[in-house]
Structure 1
Amino acid sequence: MGIYLSAPKTEKASEDGENDRLRYGLSSMQGWRATMEDAHAAYPDLDSSTSFFGVYDGHGGKVVAKFCAKYLHQQMLKHEVYAAGDLGSSVQKAFLRMDEMMCGQRGWRELARLGDKMDKFSGMIEGLIWSPKGGEVNDHIDDWPSEEGPHSDFHGPNSGCTACVAIIRNNQLLVANAGDSRCVISKKGQAYNLSTDHKPNLEIEKERILKAGGFIQYGRVNGSLNLARAIGDVEFKQNKVLPAEKQIITAHPDITTVELCDDDEFFVLACDGIWDCMSSQQLVDFVREELKTESRLSVICERVFDKCLAPSAGGEGCDNMTMILVQFKKPVDLDASPGEQPLSPDQPSESRSTGKSSVET
């Protein structure tokens, strides 16, 4: 679904960066879509021991993805359980906090500031390209106090976004996901999914949707949304007797934590525009082959887009595409064949510049 251009926009916004533990490259491309609704965040040095990467895939508008790219990691940082070392709880609370922050006069004002046009009939807000300063990562927002104004009763945007983030601390990789963006890690060339695509036909998602008063038609929630978890989409979160985790659509993320080892080569965060065209293993194979001759990780991301881009409008390969490739700094034998691993392959387990970024392109 969506409006397509007569010719794809293939310009790519790309970036590379690194620290003493990892290298990363990222890129975004609008493609055949009429607008670019993806956003991302890349902070290799979120704090002295933590790296943060996130992909936010918007639907019905771009502003919720932009909001999350700006605020989600900040909210995780400021939570008291983060300081205590509980990454899982802090990022989980940050996901749910996004919906809370987008309500009321202050939420409306910030969404309007990030955007340039509000559709008064649908409540969906469209935005301009936005690129904050890298220093904003530690610009903690005060307690987001409520404000009085003409939009004090604003319940939040009807547009929304997926959120898939990866957090690295020491030898631990934590992935939090709500929606159908995906994180995949390569272990000696074998792809392992570190997130679940939250589609309405999954039994656990279907059960929640039906219990909350929703329905599934043509594989879409209430006949419209083709994913089961997202930030925003307030129209699906109006059951006053249910907590946020049990609404028709929920922002509550799955959390997967793995201990990194010498077998781990790299991981990929990408929106469904990539996964519609390539399986997890196909992408890992492609990246490993490219790594033999290409040192800039963002260039590999760009080549993935070129491979996925449809020759004409309609169907797979026509969506916005965003991808972050993170490689661990250690010698890797790219000619090694995949070996046996304790995880199940492809199944969930428990602009060029250098530096920090949080952008929508």
Structure 2
Amino acid sequence: MGTYLSTPKTEKESEDGENERLKYGLSSMQGWRSSMEDAHAAHLDFDSSTSFFGVYDGHGGKEVAKFCAKYLHQQVLENEAYLAGDIGTSLQQAFLRMDTMMSRHCGKRELAILGEKIQAVESTQRELAKIADEIEKDPQGQSLRSTFVILGDEIEKTRRMMEDLISSPEHGEDNGVVDDCTLNNGPRCNLPGTRPTSGSTACVAIIRNNQLLVANAGDSRCVISRKGQAYNLTRDHKPYLKAEKHRILEAGGFVQGGRANGNLNVARAIGDLELKQNKSLPAEKQVVTANPELNTVELCNDDEFLVIACDGIWDSMSVQEVVDFVRKQLNTETKLSVVCERVFDNCIAPCVEGRSGCDNMTMILVQFKKPFDCTLEQPPLISYPDPPPYDPYSDSDWENRRRALVAARARDLD
């Protein structure tokens, strides 16, 4: 059934944690999708006064989301700006740093491991061997055997290339410089076909004392409940929105069917490196950028909890519906991961005929412990609205842009 299963996988992976400042619960569920491409990170004691939470919604594979869950928080923590107290700059640089790391040899090895590419190729080899054995036993199937031998040889070449990518030494072949993912500069890997083509949204919340800083790239969301009112602290980065579309067109791309270059339905994401190849532009101005939008909130005693979740939730429930649902559950349930699980049960579709309720689902629920040290009157929160519906007539110029892009690529090849 394409990208969907015949029956959903409703098993949930959940965890809970608590310290003197915060309490959190999280859960993830594959649902109707044929694979699980979400990942998350929760670090309650990021440092002595700080907590880190992140949701990463992958597309085209799980490896970029898992890469972010493994490394993005480390890059924030090690950043000079973070050590100097500038959380916003450290977050922005960490988001952009993910693409740099993944474009290097060591990053690509890590992506291959996280994406379990070697295991998939070896599994295919085993299945081919079984079929070949069956053909060997059937005299009428001998004519097909040579075809399977050729196919098996090609798969073996692929497996060896991937093993070489994973096991090769971390040195640039030309200059012997160590290709270390922790360095700001280093050699890039130019092996054919190794550019990461999958990507991931990223929605991160850092809480330090009574300050909340949110960084977002994509359409996952961070929502806060203040006295029962839902405030969406993040903007969905859709390609057809004016600011996003302007950047896409200026970078030589186009928007078709509401998608960047007719392919990706978000305008900001980590990974998707094939949409970040304009060498004359910085990372922030590529067709798709990992540059996050930042939002800072001074927390007060009216703030109850925070929800960070992928679009598998928001496609099924509005931000206010989620806040109302969570508040009701908290009247009787103290384990926050259970509340997340119940949100999934409320969202999942009974079948795949409809559009919503069929995606992977990941949610982190963070409950604030009180009181906060609020000495000043808090400014009113701004809640981002849902993006407007896609207008197909807004793409009237996409064909000209597509032709210009094809012509530019042809010139590059020359």
Structure of higher CA gyration radius:
2
Aligned-partner Cα distance in 2 for 1:205–1:142: 30
Residue of structure 2 in register with 1:111 after alignment: 111
- TM-superposed deviation, 1:49: 1.1
- TM-superposed deviation, 1:142: 4.2
Matched AA of 1:301: C
Residue of structure 1 in register with 2:369 after alignment: 329
Residue of structure 1 in register with 2:202 after alignment: 163
What are the superposed Cα offsets for residues 142-176 of structure 1, whole Å, 9 maximum, x if unpaired? 43774687x56777411000000000001100000
Aligned-partner Cα distance in 2 for 1:341–1:88: 19
C-alpha contact 2:107 2:181 (8 A) present in aligned 1: no
Distance 1:148 1:228, change over 3 A: closer
1:184 matches 2:223: yes
Distance 1:9 1:249, change over 3 A: same
Identity percentage of aligned residues: 69
C-alpha contact 1:239 1:247 (8 A) present in aligned 2: yes
Matched AA of 2:89: S
- Give runs of aligned pairs for residues 61-76 of structure 1, distance below 5 A: 61-76=61-76
Partner SS for 2:46:
strand
Aligned-partner Cα distance in 1 for 2:320–2:361: 18
Matched AA of 1:323: M
Residue of structure 1 in register with 2:97 after alignment: 97
C-alpha contact 1:103 1:154 (8 A) present in aligned 2: no
Matched residue pairs, number? Answer: 323
Matched AA of 1:223: G
- TM-superposed deviation, 1:248: 0.4
Aligned-partner Cα distance in 1 for 2:277–2:251: 9
C-alpha contact 1:38 1:56 (8 A) present in aligned 2: yes
Aligned-partner Cα distance in 2 for 1:115–1:325: 27
Residue of structure 2 in register with 1:343 after alignment: 381
Residue of structure 1 in register with 2:31 after alignment: 31
Between structures 1 and 2, the one with greater strand share: 1
What are the superposed Cα offsets for residues 63-99 of structure 1, whole Å, 9 maximum, x if unpaired? 0000000000000111111110000000100000000
Residue of structure 2 in register with 1:270 after alignment: 309
TM-score in terms of structure 1 length: 0.84
1:251 matches 2:290: yes
C-alpha contact 1:183 1:269 (8 A) present in aligned 2: yes
C-alpha contact 1:25 1:296 (8 A) present in aligned 2: yes
Structure with bigger RCO (C-alpha 8 Å, 6+ apart): 1
Partner SS for 1:310:
coil
1:288 to 302, 320, 327: 327
C-alpha contact 2:67 2:114 (8 A) present in aligned 1: yes
Aligned-partner Cα distance in 2 for 1:217–1:141: 35
1:44 matches 2:84: no
What are the superposed Cα offsets for residues 253-277 of structure 1, whole Å, 9 maximum, x if unpaired? 0000010000100010000000001
C-alpha contact 1:22 1:329 (8 A) present in aligned 2: yes
Aligned-partner Cα distance in 2 for 1:80–1:276: 37
C-alpha contact 1:58 1:160 (8 A) present in aligned 2: yes
Aligned-partner Cα distance in 2 for 1:155–1:242: 22
Residue of structure 2 in register with 1:127 after alignment: none
What are the superposed Cα offsets for residues 23-44 of structure 1, whole Å, 9 maximum, x if unpaired? 0000000000000000000001
C-alpha contact 1:165 1:176 (8 A) present in aligned 2: yes
Partner SS for 1:185:
strand
TM-score in terms of structure 2 length: 0.74
- TM-superposed deviation, 1:2: 6.0
- TM-superposed deviation, 1:112: 1.7
CA RMSD of superposed structures (Å): 2.5
Aligned-partner Cα distance in 1 for 2:280–2:383: 39
C-alpha contact 1:104 1:154 (8 A) present in aligned 2: no
1:312 matches 2:348: no
Residue of structure 1 in register with 2:233 after alignment: 194
Matched AA of 1:342: P
C-alpha contact 1:50 1:169 (8 A) present in aligned 2: yes
Residue of structure 1 in register with 2:390 after alignment: none
Matched AA of 2:356: E
Distance 1:72 1:92, change over 3 A: same
What are the superposed Cα offsets for residues 187-236 of structure 1, whole Å, 9 maximum, x if unpaired? 00000111111111211101101111111111111111111100000110
Aligned-partner Cα distance in 2 for 1:247–1:330: 43
What are the superposed Cα offsets for residues 89-120 of structure 1, whole Å, 9 maximum, x if unpaired? 00100000000000132111111222321689
Matched AA of 1:343: L
C-alpha contact 1:104 1:155 (8 A) present in aligned 2: no
Aligned-partner Cα distance in 1 for 2:320–2:206: 22
- TM-superposed deviation, 1:341: 7.9
C-alpha contact 1:39 1:55 (8 A) present in aligned 2: yes
Aligned-partner Cα distance in 2 for 1:232–1:148: 15
Between structures 1 and 2, the one with greater helix share: 2
